[in-house]
């Protein structure tokens, strides 16, 4: 038997690929790009879990917008202090969340804290 016959290798089966180079189980289009960016399926999650988490986060952000606006409306000298505080909190949350999603590649919402300086007690 020659050396060539002894060193034959068995080819491993490969997964069939779709037209765009993705495996058949991977979503295409917008959801595929979202999965690639955030690594949803790679981290063991699924879209349903992420959507429920997003709705929960949205409700928490709505609460933060209203409570922060109520807290700061007394210290803003404006014709509509509640509206001004609401818009300022919303703009800060939008910018913070957008930066977190782009640079950290994590779908985490950012908003201003609701603690006050008077509740701080140094050691």
- Rounded to whole angstroms, how far apart are CA atoms 120 and 59? 27
Give residue-wise pLDDT tens across range 50-102: 889 989 999 999 998 998 888 877 777 778 888 888 898 899 999 999 999 88
| Three-point CA angle 89, 87, 74, nearest 5° | 75
CB contact at 8 A, 65 and 89: yes
The chain-wide mean pLDDT, for the chain, equals 76
Higher pLDDT, 111 or 115: 111
Give residue-wise pLDDT tens across range 21-33: 455 555 578 888 8
Q: What is the pTM assigned to this prediction? A: 0.59
Reply yes or no on whether the pLDDT at 111 is more than 90: no
| Three-point CA angle 8, 9, 12, nearest 5° | 155
Tell me which residue has tokens 């300086």: 117
Give residue-wise pLDDT tens across range 13-57: 444 444 444 555 555 788 888 888 878 888 888 889 988 998 999
């Amino acid at each position: 038997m020659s050396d060539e016959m002894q060193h034959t290798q068995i080819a491993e089966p490969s997964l069939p690929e779709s037209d765009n180079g993705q495996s058949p189980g991977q979503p295409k289009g917008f959801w595929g790009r979202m999965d690639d960016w955030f690594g949803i399926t790679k981290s063991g999650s699924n879209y349903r879990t992420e959507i429920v988490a997003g709705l929960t986060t949205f409700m928490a952000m709505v609460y933060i917008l209203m409570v922060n606006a109520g807290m700061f409306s007394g210290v803003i000298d404006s014709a509509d202090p509640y509206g001004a505080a609401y818009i300022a909190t919303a703009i800060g949350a939008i910018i913070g969340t957008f930066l977190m999603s782009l640079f950290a590649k994590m779908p985490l919402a950012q908003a201003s804290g609701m603690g006050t300086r008077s509740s701080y007690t140094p050691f």
